[in-house]
Amino acid sequence: MTRPAVLVTGGAQRLGAAFSRAFAAAGWHVVIHYRSSGEEAAALAGDLPSAQIMQADLAENGAADALARDVAAQLDDWRALVNSAAVFQPDDVAALDPGILDRAMQVNARAPAMLAQSYLAHASARGGRRVIQITDQKLANPNPDFFSYTMSKHALDATIRMLAMGATQPDDRIYGLAPGAILPSHDQSEEEAERSHLLNLRRRRTSPRDVAEAAVFLASGDLASGETLFVDSGQHLLSQPRDVIYLEREAAR
């Protein structure tokens, strides 16, 4: 193996698949993690120059650590970890759903934190290791919708600087990457997404490729550790009272 390797969690579908393709195009060996989309993962791996697939349910206790140990045992230049897997379910700011909160915190915050810890404890890499935590522009532009999801992304954001301060070697870097609205989500149609995803300063729809290329840049560069890069066409600089899903629907009435 002469290529640097990257593990992309949730790397078979949606934004995760864009990460997988972008790293492959940049010459990386891509480890595509999946939970239940095995067919999609295998098909994507077959389309890439150098890739493999690995299954794990990150909602299960111990799964993140086991996944990191398995990948570290197989690869001697595991240079980047992209924590992309996430769950996105609606619940109400005035009536938190405990089940939705538990799953959001487990998959969106606890699992990527533990995966990053295990990666930094066990992985070898030439030229330093990179952890990229995929957060959300809602960190800077919060609204009351998707309450548990947003809480979990704030928890994930907190890991970035703490890991950078206390779990790394001098050549390691921990980054956040905060996308805005990109793909249809929750119960959106493609037509609704096309309109709602223009609700940013540039009136431009941010593409999966924009975010994926930013991840490759972070994994290949040497910016200061602990920083977060927003890729959202300026959405995080706004103050939006609701998620763009509902802003678009209210405007369309």
The answer to whether 245 and 186 are in contact (CB under 8 A) is: yes
Residue 1, pLDDT score: 75
Residue 108, pLDDT score: 98
205 Cβ partners below 8 Å, 6+ apart?
182, 194, 197, 198, 233
Q: Which residues of the chain have pLDDT under 50?
A: none
Rounded alpha-carbon distances, angstroms, from residue 148 to 152, 157, 185, 197, 241:
6, 14, 16, 22, 17
Q: How far apart are CA 66 and CA 118, in angstroms?
A: 8
Q: How far apart are CA 218 and CA 131, in angstroms?
A: 9
Residue 126, pLDDT score: 94
Backbone angles phi, psi at 177, to 5 degrees: -130, 115
Q: List pLDDT tens digits, range 209-221.
A: 999 999 999 999 9
The answer to whether 121 and 71 are in contact (CB under 8 A) is: no
What pTM was estimated for this model as a whole?
0.97
Q: How far apart are CA 56 and CA 176, in angstroms?
A: 23
Residue 253, pLDDT score: 83
Domain layout of the chain by residue ranges: 5-252
The fold for domain 5-252 equals Rossmann fold (3.40.50)
